[in-house]
Amino acid sequence: MTPLDAGLSWARALTERVVTDAVVLHHAAADGSVEAVHQSHLARGWAGIGYHYYVRKDGTIWLGRPEWAVGGHTSGENWHSIGVCFEGNFEAEAMGEAQLAAGRELLADIIARRGELEILPHRALSATACPGKNFPLTEMLRREETAVVYAKLGDVPEYYRATIEKLIALGALRGVGGDELNVDETYCRVMTTLDRMGIFD
């Protein structure tokens, strides 16, 4: 995967991000190029595009703000997160296969380089509908190449365990004390993301 570089210029110096533990997913709520998004953000008085990556409908991935820099995509959360924006308005349309595949490839690449990260839709962190009701969150988080199955609670990585414990307490997972769970990594990832959105509260 090689993101394309539009050669964007910044209105002022960018600040280095010293912690990275999350990726936040957005939609542009419109169609257009990475240059158009950059100009729109410059017009707001920002240093430039607030997202680190921009995924177009044709499946091309464009560099936005450098990955090392603090973004400008999620109020109060930019200091520790990478912002990924998808062209389109997923309140009103569905995502095509090329864009979905590109998004999944990008997320896999980021995780391969940086280790396990929390991947959240913008709406989990702010009062917004972004990235839209039709955004394919479950499909975006699914990892076909992952075949790891956790047989019991003690096998579940710490990153997912609080959510799995909550689902056991709610009766959504069988197994006395978390035994005989047989849940895979994709299930744990999706459920943890939904938990962060408050679905199980």
Per-residue pLDDT in tens (0 to 9) along the chain, 201 residues: 689 999 999 999 999 999 999 999 999 999 999 999 999 999 999 999 999 999 999 999 999 999 999 999 999 999 999 999 999 999 999 999 999 989 998 998 898 888 888 999 999 999 999 999 999 998 898 765 545 778 888 878 776 888 888 888 888 776 555 567 778 777 887 888 788 778 787
Res 143: pLDDT: 65
Name the residue with tokens 């999620």. 74
49 within 8 A of 64, measured Cβ to Cβ: yes
Rounded CA-CA distance 181/178 in Å is: 6
Res 146: pLDDT: 47
Beta bridge partners, 63, equal 53
Burial 151-163 (b: 16+ CB within 10 A, else e): eebeebeeebbeb
Tell me the pTM: 0.75
Terminal Cα distance for the chain, rounded: 38
Residue 84 φ/ψ, nearest 5 degrees = -120, 125
Domains of the chain: 22-141 (3.40.80.10), 149-196 (no CATH)
Three-state DSSP class for 84? Answer: strand
